[in-house]
Amino acid sequence: MLADKKHLSRAIAGALVALSITALVLSLVRVEDVPLPPTVKYGMVFDAGSSHTSLFVYQWDADKENSTGVVSQTLACDVQGQGISSYASDPPRAGDSLRECLEQGLEAVPAAEQRNVPAYLGATAGMRLLREQNSSAADQVLAEVTKTMREYPVAFKGAQILTGEEEAAYGWITTNYLLDSFTKYSPRAHAWLRPEAANLLGALDLGGASTQISFVPAGPGLKRNGSSRLTLYGFSYSIYTHSYLCYGQNEVLRRLAKQLIEESPSSSRVAHPCYPEGYHETISLASFRASPCTERPALPDAEVTLEGRGDARGCLAALRKLFNFSACGQSRDCTFDGVYQPPVRGQFIAFSAFYYNFKFLNLTEGQPLAAARDTIQRFCSRSWGDLSASYPQENPARLPKYCASANYILTLLLDAYKFNESSWKSISFQMKAGSADVGWTLGYMLNLTNLLPAEAPAWAKGQAPALWAAAVAFIVLTLALGLAALLLSWL
């Protein structure tokens, strides 16, 4: 009987231990960890650029909406045709151009969610230029795209023209959000940790009509023009941003053509050092009036034929003349035209046209500067016959322009921004980060939908009580177990 009693008490003790461990484990599982069906939310942003418009649809899990890096890209849709500013003389067509992508965007969202989808349209340098030229035409274009977007069952939040500085800052936010570099939640410290400033990436964006640079400069509290202060997840950042209107690649190519034509007045054939030998293009001088970047001084009504020379050195020299470097005097903290810029610092992502041009030239694999220069020079010396035979798939309107664009990129990065042989290595030419395209749209949506809290998220602060509860449960269970064991040993 005594042996049986002992067996029984051991069995009871064993059962109690198992029960306590199970209870302990269960007490450690926080309510939030119990998987509930996730509520997916969506957002839509049209990027209305100078040469084309794209629609991006993003999605995120509503339960995690204040953490970093949880928004992903569901859809990217390219609007057919030109940018919305090209419809200045027929604004309703700007609205109509968006329909196909709006329909695709809606298909990407469950029907029950559509009415909750915040939808934005942000226009950039093409519309900034149109507004400068004819503000009532710009207003009409915005009114038409607004009218179209309101016809669809989404929560339309507005169509507006971003300033260059906003465009630059949102590109910087997108980049660092996608790379999860803003802040990390440390479960061990139960706190949001400040990232090393040096781990934040700078952003280099090259559009059709403007180009943007943004980065965190060295030195405390930069208090000059061009600095923006952002507070995200409880930390404050001082970033330098600048946007250069008329320095996007299309405007630069037009300004270059105009400069070459002005240098040989009254000639109907003008040598173009950046176009390939054997290529020629006839342009109407009246076309320069279409943009404030080239409208003055006005050229006579005439046609001029630009003849390619395939001269890389001459191309670089001609491009440099589009920048006023002497306006900086002796100042090192200056790019051109007297624009202040602190020394570049840290890693950079160069996206949009920086990427497309370098991708075509196979220069996105981290090649050193000397190799990039060499590749560009060799490409520029190839004849039009050779190029069109070698790249039959390439858009024939784009193919003759890579030499000019690539040399422009070199001039901008090296002469203006002052990257050098060694800091060149810290520029990564890429289009995507994670699964999303790098651009200003995601940062814009995150900001306008309050997905980027200034304060550290509340749910993180809520973890401490959960751990306290677990500790209390543990102590209570240990005491209970001890008592039970004591009780059994008396039996």
Ligand X SMILES: *[C@@H]1O[C@H](CO)[C@@H](O)[C@H](O)[C@H]1NC(C)=O
Is 459 a binding residue for ligand X by CB under 6 A? The answer is: yes
Which one of residues 325, 340, 360, 474 is an interface residue with ligand X (CB under 6 A)?
Answer: 360
Q: Which range of residues in 27-35, 415-423, 428-436, 447-455 is near ligand X by CB under 6 A?
A: 447-455
Binding of ligand X by 66 (CB under 6 A): yes
Distances in whole angstroms, Cα of residue 132 to Cα of each of 276, 291, 292, 293, 378: 34, 9, 7, 10, 39
Determine the length of the chain: 491
State the minimum distance, in angstroms, from the CB of residue 90 to ligand X. 8
CB of residue 106 vs ligand X: minimum separation in angstroms?
25
Q: Which is nearer to ligand X, 229 or 359 (CB)?
A: 359
Q: What φ, ψ does residue 243 adopt, rounded to 5°?
A: -125, 135
Which stretch in 132-140, 215-223, 341-349, 366-374 sits in contact with ligand X by CB under 6 A? Answer: 132-140
Does the footprint of ligand X cover residue 34 (CB under 6 A)?
Answer: no
Dihedral, CA atoms, 267, 273, 276, 281, nearest 10 degrees?
-30
Three-state secondary-structure class, residue 218: coil
Task: Give the nearer residue to ligand X in terms of CB position, either 136 or 435.
Answer: 136
| Ranges within 136-155 binding ligand X (CB under 6 A) | 136-137, 140
Distances, alpha carbon 255 to alpha carbons 107, 258, 297, in Å:
42, 5, 12
Based on CB atoms, which residue is closest to ligand X, 340 or 391?
A: 391
Is residue 267 involved in binding ligand X (CB under 6 A)?
A: no
Spatial distance between the Cα atoms of 423 and 218, rounded to a whole number of angstroms: 14
- Which tokens hold the place of 384? 């039009």
Q: Examine residue 250 and tell whether it contacts ligand X (CB under 6 A).
A: no
CB within 8 A of 59, min separation 6: which ones?
40, 41, 42, 43, 71, 72, 74
167 catalytic? Reply is yes
For residues 349 and 282, is the Cβ–Cβ distance under 8 A?
no
| Least Cβ distance, residue 133 to ligand X (angstroms) | 7
CA distance 107 to 152: 12
- Chain Cα centroid distance, residue 405: 20
Q: Is residue 458 at the binding interface for ligand X, with CB under 6 A as the rule?
A: yes
Q: Return d(Cα 489, Cα 52) in angstroms, integer.
A: 82
User: Residues 74-93: x/- map of binding to ligand X (CB under 6 A)?
Assistant: --------------xx----
Nearer to ligand X, 331 or 362 (CB): 362
If the CB atoms of residues 322 and 380 are measured against ligand X, the closer one turns out to be 380
- 427-429 vs 348-352, strand pairing mode: parallel
> Does residue 310 bind ligand X (CB under 6 A)?
no
Question: Which residue, 135 or 331, has its beta carbon nearer to ligand X?
Answer: 135
Among 69, 234, 278, 453, binds ligand X (CB under 6 A): 453
**Least spacing, CB of residue 61 vs ligand X, in Å:** 9
Residue tagged active-site, from 167, 196, 251, 262: 167
Spatial separation of the C-alpha atoms in residues 463 and 470, rounded to whole Å: 11
CB-nearer residue toward ligand X: 361 or 436: 361
Instruction: Rule CB under 6 A: choose which of 42, 59, 65, 336 binds ligand X.
Output: 65
Q: Does 256 bind ligand X (CB under 6 A)?
A: no
Check binding of 134 to ligand X (CB under 6 A). yes
Q: Report in angstroms how near the CB of residue 140 gets to ligand X at its nearest.
A: 6
Q: Cα dist. 116→42, 111, 157, 246, 324 in Å?
A: 8, 10, 11, 38, 49
- Sheet with strand 118-123: strands edge to edge: 72-78, 53-61, 40-48, 118-123, 155-161
DSSP secondary structure string for all residues of 81-114: SS-GGGGTTSTHHHHHTTHHHHHHHHHTS-GGGG
Binding site for ligand X (CB under 6 A): 65-66, 88-89, 134, 136-137, 140, 360-362, 450, 453, 455, 457-459
Positions marked catalytic: 167
